Amino acid sequence: MSETPQPKLVFVTGGARSGKSSFTLNEASSMPGPKAYIATAEPLDGEMAERIRRHREERGSGWDTLEEPVELAALLRSVKDRYSVLLVDCLTLWLSNIYIVDRAGVEREIEGLVRVLKELRGSPGCPSLYLVSNEVGMGIVPENRLARVFRDMAGRLNQEVAGVADEVYLVVSGIPLKVKG
């Protein structure tokens, strides 16, 4: 008789096109029960719409898709009892969306998300949570202030989420490296 896996919080980061979304989807798909993919991207142009279409196709019919570009913490709270697995892709786009809507509220939103992640991890029957984010701080120092501020905010967000995660992976050239857990 196989044992049901314990719910966990898994944080996956890496560069653009590193394979982090595919790795995370594969890992989360192996978990039992109903699953929801929480997309933070918005189809603001044709290229992004095509990316979203390909991602949906890759997931297949075993996933419900929930789209939430800004109110991520509230959505996680509201759906936690309906799913065994929640996969958020991606935190960097979520952060960008917040920055556009409410630049002054970014710190508050990061703190709110981390608070919800801690609540969910500590609640009975909590789902397994998989969170994908870009590692944007490994390149050159951006030449403009806006890009530097965003890089710093993304770094803080990633540190906060990694701090509460049970497992953390860095994906490089399609290869996942477990760095925590």
157's CB contacts (< 8 A; 6+ apart) are: 91, 92, 95, 110, 113, 133
Structure confidence at residue 99 (pLDDT):
92
Do residues 51 and 101 make contact, with C-beta atoms less than 8 angstroms apart? no
Element (H, E) at 169: strand 167-172
Given phi > 0 = left and psi -120 to 50 = alpha, else beta, which region is 43? beta
pTM over 0.85: yes
pLDDT band (50, 70, 90) for residue 124: confident
Distances (CA, A) of 25 to 12, 56, 98, 122, 171: 11, 11, 24, 24, 13
Distances (CA, A) of 168 to 8, 96, 131, 159: 11, 22, 10, 11
Which of 8, 55, 77, 156 is flagged as catalytic?
Answer: 55
Do residues 106 and 95 make contact, with C-beta atoms less than 8 angstroms apart? yes
55 as an active site residue: the answer is yes
Q: pLDDT tens, 49-73?
A: 898 888 888 888 899 999 999 999 9
Q: Which domains does the chain have, with CATH numbers?
A: 25-129+141-161 (3.40.50.300)
Alpha carbons 93 and 3: distance in angstroms, whole number:
36
Structure confidence at residue 1 (pLDDT):
47
Q: pLDDT exceeding 90 applies to what percent of the chain?
A: 77
**Span 19-42, mean pLDDT?**
95
